[in-house]
Structure formats: structure tokens, C-alpha cells
Amino acid sequence: MREVELGWGKVLLVKDNGEFHALGHKCPHYGAPLVKGVLSRGRVRCPWHGACFNIGTGDLEDFPGLDSLHKFQVKIEKEKVYVRASKQALQLQRRTKVMAKCISPSAGHSSSTNVLIVGAGAAGLVCAETLRQEGFSDRIVLCTLDRHLPYDRPKLSKSLDAQPEQLALRPKEFFRAYGIEVLTEAQVVTVDVRNKKVVFKDGFKLEYSKLLLAPGSSPKMLSCKGKEVENVFTIRTPEDANRVVRLARGRNAVVVGAGFLGMEVAAYLTEKAHSVSVVELEETPFRRFLGERVGRALMKMFENNRVKFYMQTEVSELRAQEGKLKEVVLKSSKVVRADVCVVGIGAVPATGFLRQSSINLDSRGFIPVNKMMQTNVPGVFAAGDAVTFPLAWRNNRKVNIPHWQMAHAQGRVAAQNMLAQEAEISTVPYLWTAMFGKSLRYAGNRWPGQGRGQVRLGVWLRCVRSAEVELGS
């Protein structure tokens, strides 16, 4: 692979099996230079988060991200390679696949829809877009608790200052153009699968023919004394993230939980807050995922950036002054000054509204689905953080994998099966995180009983993601 300058921009020139292909050179997800990725079996893998593009068509074939690459004309004459590309395509560096538009006369004002998608996160949006890419022209309604159109949730903890419009995955005009209706601040409270109908909190009822459940998860909150004091947050929305930075500026911030989310927030706040402290039950951050050695190395990096750790302890009380957080009291009796506290201690599936329906939930509240993302109820699909699904290369053991990339992949499979295309989920789980300008990527899945070192980084990622084709899983 080689980057070639064409005057108005670059292309990625690929020679594979003696054939030349010219494609957009930047990954449409976050703009990684694809020349640094991996070329394998007719696909190029992005070096940053593993999105995958077909070199014959430029189509996005594995996630994350929504758009594909432009494919340019190539001709060979007298041992020279000529590439023909439009200025616009070179400058844009991304291609939205051709999509159907909605031609349903009932769109926008009827109390029934062909497809209803509960959840406008990664899984819900990809499901809606895939339906349109596959030519589906009936009504699609997406609903969300948020007041915003679908946005890039992983950025919330990496760039807490970002405004909702900077995080949007698609502009308003996109939804209008393709007739994807988004109902914001619209909470589904019950699902009646017998009559194929959902009821919203405000009493509005909507009938559906096909239903996708993609409600994601809800963050766990502290249950200690003082849990109701002001300025204690979980990070789920741009509003949460923006308020945390505002309150932390020049003051004392405490992060509870040294998982990916908590550590990203702690890293971001070091440049803004007077002090940043992390409270964690385990002895080392990330130990469960990355093992002791990697965890210790990361902890050192944080300490070098002025982050103070309180390990193997938990919060026993949040103390306030005039209703606002002032101190975090730990079980170890230590009292930490705090003006703002971010809680990142995990999440539970946001499936409470399904309890009275006949859609199966497991003991932890996840929606079990098969490889086609079908629930136990015909016509009802589920995808994303709220599901457990059979992971092919773990002997089809049912797992929950709450990753951005996985939610995209499952949303796509659900859409394909709504259209009876018999697709199965077969992507390799992939997660990334970024702290102090360093990025850490992890592919695969850790299973119970696995010790340290079972999930490897960097090079391992490349092997697994390119081996995926060979293994067929």
C-alpha cells in the first residue's frame, strides 16, 4: 500500500495479487492513515480501531464507523499507473453508501411504523442505515431518551468538553433526506408483543411490524450514605460530561472506579482540575482485563501525571456543604476533598421496561439473542450493550460485549435479518481507549478463569483481526 498525492488530495494505492486499486486514504471513522493498516485477503484494516474496507469496492465491511471509502478508476499504460479521481471525492475522503428513501405515505404522522428501533445509539443507528442501504423504503422510527440525535458516545469520556453538535454521528439533514425519524426524549415504558405495540412515557402508542431493542445500559450509581448530594455524576450524555469539566476546573475531582471510563475521565481532568483522585476496589487498575503488569505500568503513567490513587477501598460516604459535594469518605477512613465526583463502577442493561413483556431476559437483565440477533419473539430483534449473544470462537458461549464496534456489527446483522438475509454475527470484539495521548487497543474476549496476559495488545490485535477471515468467525 502506498499513499499517492494527486494534487487535490491523496489516494491509497494498493497492489494486491498483481492488481492495482485506488481508494480514499483516510479512515472515515476518525481519519487514520490507512497506509499504516493491514492489507489482507482483499481488505484493508484501519490501524487505529480496526474498521475494514473492501479494496475492490471501498465498502466498509467491519466496524466502527458509518461510511465507506471512495474507489477511484485505475488504468495502467506503458508501466505507469494512472488514477482518475474527482476533486470533491479527494477532498471529502468518505462515501456514504447509496440509500433508499422513505416512500411510506404514513411517515411522520401515523401511529404505526414498519420498523421501530428502541435506542438511537450505535446499534440502533447502524440498523436504520443498513435497512436503507439494503433498499428498505418503508417507515423507520428510532427513539431515544436523549435530547440529541445519535452521537459518538465513546468521545464523552475522552473529550468531556465536546459539545453535542461536535459529537453528532450524522447531521439533521441526513435523517430528513433518508426518512429516518428520530423521536428524542421519548422513553418506551412497555412493549406489548402480542399486539405489536409500544407505549411511551407520555402515553403515546406506536404499532410496529418489526422491532429492534437496542437500549444499551444504565450506569450503576453509588449506594452509600449521601448518594443524593449535588455534583456527583455518571457519564452518559454530553450534558453530564460538560458539567463535570465545568465543575472540576481548578478544583478537586474524585473518580470512583478505575475501569476504562473512570481512567479516561481522570486523565482528561488532570489538565483542568486542581487535584484528581481515583478510588478503586482492586489493587491495580485494569488488572482483570490486562493483567497486573500492564495495569501497573498504566497506573505509573497516571501517577506521573499527578493522579492520586486510593486502591483496595471504596466510598462509604459523600459529604456535602449546602447540598454540594465537599468530601468523599473512604472505607479506609481516609477523607478526600472533592468538589465533583464521577462514578464509573459499571453498568446494567437498560431493559427494565421489558420485564412485563414476554421477551426473555436472563438473570442479569440481558436480552439473550441468537447469532441472527433474534430474541425469543418472532419479529423482535435486539443488539448492542443490552444483549448476550453466541460468540462463535468461544464455542458459541453466550457473552455480553459492551463495545462500540460490536454494537455497530450487531445493528447491521439485525437489519439484514429483518430483511430475511440470514446474516450471522461474526466479528472479533474490539475496544480502544485513549489516555494522555496514548492509545490502548484490545481485541478478543476474556473469559472467566483466564488469568493475566490472556488479552494481548497491539500486534496481537492485528493478527486476530486479519485471521478472522481465515477462521470464518
> Which chain residues interact with ligand FAD by CB under 6 A?
118-124, 143-146, 153-154, 156-157, 186-188, 214-216, 235-236, 261, 350, 353, 384-385, 402-405, 407, 431-433
Nearer to ligand FES, 139 or 403 (CB): 403
| Residue ranges binding ligand FES (CB under 6 A) | 27, 29-30, 32, 46, 48-51, 64-65
Measure the CA–CA gap between 146 and 351, rounded to whole angstroms: 16
Q: In Å, how far from its chain's centre is CA 134?
A: 23
Q: How far is the CB of 415 from ligand FAD (least distance, A)?
A: 13
Work out what residue 143 binds among ligand FAD, ligand FES, none; the CB cut-off runs from 5 to 8 Å by kind.
ligand FAD
Contact 342, 244 (CB under 8 A): yes
Q: How far is the CB of 10 from ligand FES (least distance, A)?
A: 16
Q: How far is the CB of 116 from ligand FAD (least distance, A)?
A: 10
17's CB contacts (< 8 A; 6+ apart) are none
Q: How far is the CB of 463 from ligand FAD (least distance, A)?
A: 19
Work out what residue 27 binds among ligand FES, ligand FAD, none; the CB cut-off runs from 5 to 8 Å by kind.
ligand FES
Work out what residue 58 binds among ligand FES, ligand FAD, none; the CB cut-off runs from 5 to 8 Å by kind.
none
Q: How far is the CB of 354 from ligand FAD (least distance, A)?
A: 9
- The alpha-helical segments, DSSP class H, found in 153-197 are 164-167, 172-177
- Hey, how many other C-beta atoms are within 10 angstroms of the C-beta on 438? 10
Q: How far is the CB of 146 from ligand FAD (least distance, A)?
A: 5
For residue 381, what is the DSSP state?
E
Work out what residue 89 binds among ligand FES, ligand FAD, none; the CB cut-off runs from 5 to 8 Å by kind.
none
369's CB contacts (< 8 A; 6+ apart) are 375, 381, 382, 383, 387, 388, 389
Query: Which helix H or strand E contains 191, and what residues bound it?
Result: strand 188-192
Work out what residue 124 binds among ligand FAD, ligand FES, none; the CB cut-off runs from 5 to 8 Å by kind.
ligand FAD
Q: How far is the CB of 346 from ligand FES (least distance, A)?
A: 25
- Per-residue CA distances from 455 to 36, 146, 287, 421, 450 (Å): 23, 34, 11, 33, 9
Pairs from 163-172 (Cβ < 8 Å, separation ≥ 24): 163/238, 163/242, 164/238, 167/238, 169/66, 169/125, 170/66, 170/125
Nearer to ligand FES, 27 or 232 (CB): 27
Work out what residue 51 binds among ligand FES, ligand FAD, none; the CB cut-off runs from 5 to 8 Å by kind.
ligand FES
Nearer to ligand FES, 287 or 408 (CB): 408
Query: Cell triple for residue 288?
Result: 482483570
Query: Which of 171, 178, 37 lies closest to 101, judged by CA?
Result: 178
Nearer to ligand FES, 46 or 413 (CB): 46
Nearer to ligand FAD, 178 or 442 (CB): 442
Contact 436, 305 (CB under 8 A): yes
Work out what residue 60 binds among ligand FES, ligand FAD, none; the CB cut-off runs from 5 to 8 Å by kind.
none
